[in-house]
């Protein structure tokens, strides 16, 4: 048994409350890590972040770039034999990091996450072209990915106009509940 210092279990409990799941069932089998398409950009593997939280390693977990690199694609969760919602844990960690005003190690990623949430709030789902355009506008970097953007348009991976959900009240209710990311 690993003894906890005062406050270490409090951190894990906070994240469990934010995420709304019990991540203590994690087997550390690394299925999530093996399935993650963004692993190369992370400083800790997804299962290692879960372990940091379980062990109450608040500073390491909240200063990790992994919590910001995770895009919530759910590939990890679909591979997990315990069906742990790992993106929910990452969301909880991002929320805690913002509350504690911890410097985001990947500042452009916070801008990206904010743009994604803004389109969800506006349309009820993501509009990739708008996300990309607003993100590029904030960075003042208009041409670096132009070739990729044109290829995506050609392959119909980007819609010119956003699709909207019919019942926006459910989305509005989610955003009224609590704001996750500050506007920049």
Domains held by the chain: number: 2
The last residue of a domain, from among 36, 70, 99: 99
Q: Is 101 left (phi over 0), alpha (psi -120 to 50) or beta?
A: left
In whole numbers, what is the pLDDT of the chain averaged over residues? 86
pLDDT at 154: 86
Shared domain for 131 and 152, answered yes or no, is yes
Q: Which two tokens stand for residue 182?
A: 């500050």
Domain for residue 171, yes or no? Answer: yes
Distance in angstroms (rounded) separating the CA atoms of residues 181 and 45? 23
Does 141 lie in the same domain as 83? no
pLDDT at residue number 6: 65
Cα 149–chain centre separation: 23
Q: Are 118 and 182 in contact (CB under 8 A)?
A: no
Among residues 83, 99, 115, which one ends one of the domains? Answer: 99
d(CA 66, CA 44): 6
**Looking at the structure, do residues 91 and 117 belong to the same domain, yes or no?**
no
If you average pLDDT over residues 136-147, what whole number do you get? 83
Contact call for residues 65 and 41 (beta carbons, < 8 A) = yes
* Confidence at residue 184, expressed as pLDDT on a 0 to 100 scale: 44
For residues 20 and 83, membership in a common domain is answered with yes
- Residue 183 inside a domain? The answer is no
Does residue 66 sit in the same domain as residue 126? no
Distance CA 76, CA 31 (A): 7
Model pTM score: 0.72
Q: Last residue of a domain, which of 69, 99, 129?
A: 99
- Domain span including residue 137: 107-177
Mean pLDDT of all residues in 50-55: 95
| Contact yes or no for 124/92 (Cβ under 8 A) | no
Contact in structure between 89 and 15 (CB atoms under 8 Å): yes
- 22 and 73 part of one domain: yes
The string of DSSP codes covering 34-66 is: HH-TTGGG-SS-HHHHHHHHHTT-HHHHHT-SH
pLDDT in tens, 65-102: 999 999 888 899 999 999 999 999 999 999 999 999 99
In this structure, the answer to whether residues 31 and 83 fall within a common structural domain is yes
Shared domain for 12 and 54, answered yes or no, is yes
């Amino acid at each position: 048994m690993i003894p906890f210092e005062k406050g270490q279990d409090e951190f894990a409990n906070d994240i469990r409350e934010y995420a709304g799941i019990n991540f203590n069932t994690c087997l550390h089998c690394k299925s999530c890590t093996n399935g993650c398409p963004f692993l190369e950009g992370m400083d800790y593997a997804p299962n290692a972040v879960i372990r940091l939280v379980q062990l109450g390693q608040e500073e390491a977990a909240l200063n990790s770039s992994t919590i910001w690199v995770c895009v919530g694609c759910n590939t990890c969760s679909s591979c997990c034999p315990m069906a742990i919602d790992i993106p929910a844990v990452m969301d909880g960690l991002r929320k805690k990091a913002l509350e504690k005003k911890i410097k985001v190690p990947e500042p452009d990623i916070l801008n990206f996450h904010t743009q994604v949430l803004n389109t969800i709030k506006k349309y009820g789902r993501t509009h990739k072209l708008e996300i990309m355009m607003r993100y590029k506008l904030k960075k003042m970097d208009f041409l670096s990915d132009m070739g990729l953007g044109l290829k995506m348009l050609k392959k119909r991976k980007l819609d010119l106009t956003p699709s909207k959900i019919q019942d926006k009240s459910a989305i509005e209710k989610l955003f009224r509940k609590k704001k996750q990311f500050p506007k920049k």
